[in-house]
Structure 1
Amino acid sequence: MRMRVRSLRDRSRDRLDDRGTSILEFAGFLPILLVIGLACIQLGLIGYGINQAGTGARAAARTASLGGDGVGAGVASVSDWLDPQVDAPQGAGDTTTATVTVTVPAIIPIFDSWPVTRRATMPNNDDG
Structure 2
Amino acid sequence: MRASRTSGRERGQAAIEYVGMLGLLLFVAMAVVQLGLAVYAAQQAGTASRAAARAVSLDQGSAQQAGRAAMSDWLEASFEEARTGDGVQVTARVEVPSVVPGLSFGPIRKSTTMPMDR
TM-score by length of 1: 0.74
- Cα gap change, 1:19 to 1:74, in 2 (>3 Å): same
Aligned pair partner of 1:87 in 80, 85, 110: 80
Cα RMSD (Å) of the superposition?
2.6
Taking every aligned residue pair, what percent have the same amino acid on both sides?
37
- Name the counterpart of 1:110: 102
TM-score by length of 2: 0.80
- Find runs of 4+ consecutive structure 1 residues off by over 6 angstroms: 14-17
Please list every run of 5 or more consecutive structure 2 residues that lacks an aligned counterpart in the other structure. Answer: none
> In the aligned structure 1, how far is the partner of 2:47 from the partner of 2:32?
23
- Cα gap change, 1:31 to 1:61, in 2 (>3 Å): same
Give the C-alpha shift of residue 100 in structure 1.
Answer: 0.5
- Name the counterpart of 2:24: 32
Name the SS of the counterpart of 1:87 in structure 2: strand
Matched, 1:100 2:98: no
> In the aligned structure 1, how far is the partner of 2:105 from the partner of 2:112?
23
Structure number, greater radius of gyration: 1
Task: Report if the CA contact (8 A) 2:75-2:94 is conserved.
Answer: yes
Give the C-alpha shift of residue 113 in structure 1.
Answer: 6.3
> In the aligned structure 2, how far is the partner of 1:32 from the partner of 1:65?
50
Please list every run of 5 or more consecutive structure 1 residues that lacks an aligned counterpart in the other structure. Answer: 1-10
